[in-house]
Structure 1
Amino acid sequence: MTNHNELRLLPWSGPEGNPCYLSTEGSGGYLSRLADHTEAVQLEMAAELLEHAVEVLDDGESEPNEVRLLAMDMTEALRDVRRVAISRGHRLPLTDTPACEEGDESPQLSAAAFG
């Protein structure tokens, strides 16, 4: 559910690497659907890259240049996944934070902790 007062962080950057935002009251518009599709592709590519990373890192004979390229690709994928998480987190409906149950001492994370 999108809050019509919020701007949606899009899964791509604008000129000079600046974030792009979309003002929308729903998710049925062309740009919203394109952003949804792009996010899905980015998440799938990150999952495939993660599988590849496990293979490369498990192989004791990987060349340093291959590991460096992998690190660069993983950095880009992590940047994309982080942007998707922030965008989707901002679109979650606001709810009251439930009180911790007795014995539950796990800290509550806020969106501010992620950026």
Structure 2
Amino acid sequence: MPGANPYSIAKNGVNALTRGLALEYAPHGIRVNAIVPGMIDTPVGVDRVADATGRDRDEITAVRAAQVPMRRQGSAWNIADEADGQRRQRDGSGPGVTGDHGLP
């Protein structure tokens, strides 16, 4: 797909940065996480492919969903929920989680 290379490069850069920072700050008790979504139903993930290939959006959605073990793409809400879950874990407001993951 045209334009996929910059996206792939950026996503892999975020992964590498996250791993590097996690290794660097782990001795200080600091966790570094990234949310790296897979197949998400977005204009970039679905609509751009439909426009570039002339295929129907529903067909592309079905093909993409078939590539996911749960047989469905995620949504922007799934990503927001994950971010909220990480925030709750960090500040201790989630159930059964303590908020002791930072430097004094």
The bucket for the TM-score relative to the shorter chain is 0.3 to 0.5
**Structure with more of its chain in helix, by fraction:** 2
The alignment's TM-score, normalised by the length of structure 2, stands at: 0.35
**Structure with more of its chain in strand, by fraction:** 1
